[in-house]
Amino acid sequence: MAKESPMRSSGKLGKRGVWMLIIIAGLAFGGCVLRIAYLTLVQGDYYKEKANAEQLMVQKVSADRGSIYDRDMNVLAQSATVWRVTVDPSNIDEEMRNTVLNILSETLELDRAKLTDQLAENAQSKGLDVASGVDFDTKEALMARVEAEDLTNVVYVKAETKRFYPNGALASTVLGFTGTDGNGLFGLESRYDAALTGSDGKIITQKDGLMRRLDNAYEISYDVKPGVSLVLTLDSEIQRILEEALANALEETKAKNIYGIVMNPKTGALYAVANLPNYDPNDPFTVLYPSLETYFKTRGSAEEQKNPHYYAQMEQWKNKAVADYYYPGSVFKVFLVAGAYEEGVIDENTTYDCRGTIMVGDRSIKDYTPTGHGVETPETLLVNSCNTFSVHVGQMMGQDMYYKYFQSFGFTDKTNVDLPGESRPIVNVTYHDPNVSFTDSDLASASFGQSISLTPLQVVTAVSALANGGKLMQPYIVEKQIDQNGDLVSVTQPKVVRQVVSETTAKTVSGWMEKVVNDGTGKNAYVAGYHVAGKTGTSEKLGSSDTAYIASFSGFAPLDDPEIAVVIVIDEPQGDSYSGGAIAAPVGGEVIAQTLMHLEVTPDYTDEDPLIMTAAVPSLLGMTLGQVEEKLERYSYDVQIVGDGDTVLTQLPEPGTVTSVGGVVVLYTESGEREKTKVPDFDGLTVYDASSLATANGLNLKIAGSSADEWSIVAMKQDIPAGTEVDKGSLVTVTFRAGTTILD
């Protein structure tokens, strides 16, 4: 067979090579096409964004966070510009080191030794933050020294925003606080975070490879939308009144917690909501009350004892007046009686012979008075806080009727207040439902408020319904929202939830509640000049390893035209005095008295009240003695003149001081030393005797606690110790209350 020529073989190989090259090129081209298609169709948006990021400069414009105001437009929370101070340690040579240290430590009040270590440890860093939250004046002083020493390439500042709470701990559990990122974490700051925050804006421009803005580059702006501001129903002065009263009670009772609410019963507007222990939202992670941490360390669960600081923080941030349930005890009796009266189960003439015990099945329920109260009516049921009569009324109502009013007063639902953290009632946990489980024994206990749990907010809302002619209002705390210009964005309208009982029933039960304050367990809440309706309660905390109690009071005033409703709850008071009538009612009375004065509600004194009628001392400065006599003609002051002059140079008490109208006014007509007197011992005296003793010693008496002038109301403490030498005409505050043996 003839061999193939070398030339022909070479030609075939050449053709094969060409085809191989064509195939390889085709595959490569196809791969490129597929890759381009993949990058364009699948990853096009990604690379477009990446290209834009390389070519475009995006500058964020932060929105101003809205402020929070009280009802009188006093600032409660506000954002302000502060500055962060940053140092470039890598740019500090030995020659300038001492100068830098001096400027920073002296102007910013930093620890020089600690700062020296920081700079050494971060010697290669381009940016070391050494201070934040620096105010404007400090920043200006700092930069003046930096510029004078030509250190602007070493020390520089950056503006940032910080949230301020000018009143410190006032209303902290209502307001909440913000985190380091500016977002709301607790309270209203959290609930209304989106509205307060607004929307950030941005400016987009072209940049070069060195991150510089190009000349004549296009620019796109997205407008910033500032956050709205909140105007609350909260009144700073009423909040202060409530918190000071609670703080005094907390110190006196050594309780675990104490909380209270002041509400407008006609609208549901919340004037004050307070919880103690509380915290300072400017420094929220510090435990303000060490006793709270001690509680978790010594009395907490095993888990709480491991980390008492953490649990103390969580506890102080919680708005317990809205979130915590408690056994209302005898306060609940007013709702039981209202429902029974509305249904005709009882009337004014219904009687019951209280023998001190009542049998429910094989269970014996005892009253706090072993021998009983004798024959009682519904009025004295409340006045004496009779447990056995309450159980009897509950039995007459039956489970279905009882539940009807328990539900109608709002105790099976949230109130839907515009505060975060409100707890939802749970059947068989906080209340009994006949459709689920409700025994005769449950009904008996529930009838005097022992086996049911309510929140303080639920209680004050229900009491407000009795004050408001039977209409249950939805509570709220945000009155309106406004924009940066003060223009209205939204407004909250009062909302009637339902008519719980008739106006007649509400008026009748309210009248009985006034008797509780005038003659019964609530006498420590008596306020001269104002008709106060109220009810006290004491309950034992079930399931607690140690015997623990809850004392409470809820009421409203004035009776005929209520302006405020109040609830006070003292959780786990220590000592022998733990009843609502003994320790919670005085707090309620004090809050009611001061709040009504603040709201300028005119007192309505009776013939029995002249000793404790109060008025602001008028200004007599610059007047002649003849003019003084004419000015004080309608007052009953004991006027004492010091000096031989004819014109008043100084006076005590000072103008505007609120004192008893029968008090002492000392007028000085010559300059010189003020006359002195010693404070007497008022302990154990009645209002009348204490008032007489004060006047005899040239002093004015300010009555705290109950102002009822009767033998059982006596002085318990005074703010200036007996024997202290003071100026004549000075004011001494004396606290009066009934003895600690009040039971309810």
Q: Quote the pLDDT of residue 4.
A: 54
Give the separation between CA 393 and CA 213, rounded to whole angstroms.
82
Give the separation between CA 90 and CA 488, rounded to whole angstroms.
52
Give the separation between CA 276 and CA 250, rounded to whole angstroms.
8
State the SS3 of 411-441.
Answer: CCCCCCCCCCCCCCCCECCCECECCCECCHH
Average pLDDT, consecutive stretches of 10 residues, N- to C-terminus, the chain (744 residues): 54 65 71 67 62 56 84 95 89 88 92 89 88 90 92 87 93 94 92 87 57 55 77 98 96 94 98 97 94 90 93 95 95 98 97 94 89 94 96 97 97 97 95 94 94 97 98 98 93 98 98 96 91 95 79 97 98 91 94 95 74 79 91 82 92 87 88 91 92 91 81 89 94 84 74
Q: Determine whether 378 is exposed, middle or buried from the number of CB atoms within 10 Å of its CB (0-12, 13-18, 19+).
A: buried
Q: Quote the pLDDT of residue 203.
A: 58
Taking alpha carbons only, the member of 511, 614, 616 closest to residue 562 is 511
Angstrom CA distances, 532 to 512, 535, 537, 555, stand at 11, 10, 16, 7
The residues spanned by each domain of the chain are: 60-232, 322-598, 610-737
pTM assigned to the model = 0.83
Pairing of strands 731-737, 700-705: parallel
Q: Quote the pLDDT of residue 41.
A: 66
- Sorted by sequence, the CB contacts under 8 Å of residue 585 that are 6+ apart come out as 517, 521, 522, 523, 524, 525, 534, 536, 553, 568, 706, 742
Q: Quote the pLDDT of residue 106.
A: 92
Q: Quote the pLDDT of residue 402.
A: 97
The tokens for 728 are: 């004549």
Say whether 219 sits in a helix, a strand or coil.
strand
Q: Quote the pLDDT of residue 596.
A: 96
CATH classification of 322-598, choosing from 3.40.710.10, 3.40.50.460, 2.30.40.10, 1.10.340.30? 3.40.710.10
Q: Quote the pLDDT of residue 651.
A: 92
For residue 363, the one-letter residue type is R
| Cis? peptide before 603, omega within 30° of 0 | no
Q: Quote the pLDDT of residue 208.
A: 55
DSSP, res 213: B
First to last CA, the chain: 131
Longest dimension (CA), the chain: 160
For residue 588, the one-letter residue type is G
Q: What is the CA radius of gyration of the chain?
A: 37
Kindly state the helix (H) or strand (E) to which residue 486 belongs, with its residue range: none
The tokens for 432 are: 């009994």
pLDDT tens column, 604-631: 876 665 556 777 888 999 999 999 988 8
Q: What are phi and psi of 268, to 5 degrees?
A: 90, 0
Homologous superfamily of 60-232: Penicillin-binding protein 2a (Domain 2) (3.90.1310.10)
Q: Quote the pLDDT of residue 599.
A: 96
CATH classification of 610-737, choosing from 3.40.50.300, 3.90.480.20, 3.30.10.20, 2.60.120.1090? 3.30.10.20
Q: Quote the pLDDT of residue 319.
A: 96
* DSSP codes joined into one string, 391-412: HHHHHHHHHHHHHHHHHHTTTT
Q: Quote the pLDDT of residue 630.
A: 86
Angstrom CA distances, 529 to 72, 136, 586, 613, stand at 27, 51, 16, 7
Beta strand spans in 62-118 (E): 68-69, 75-87
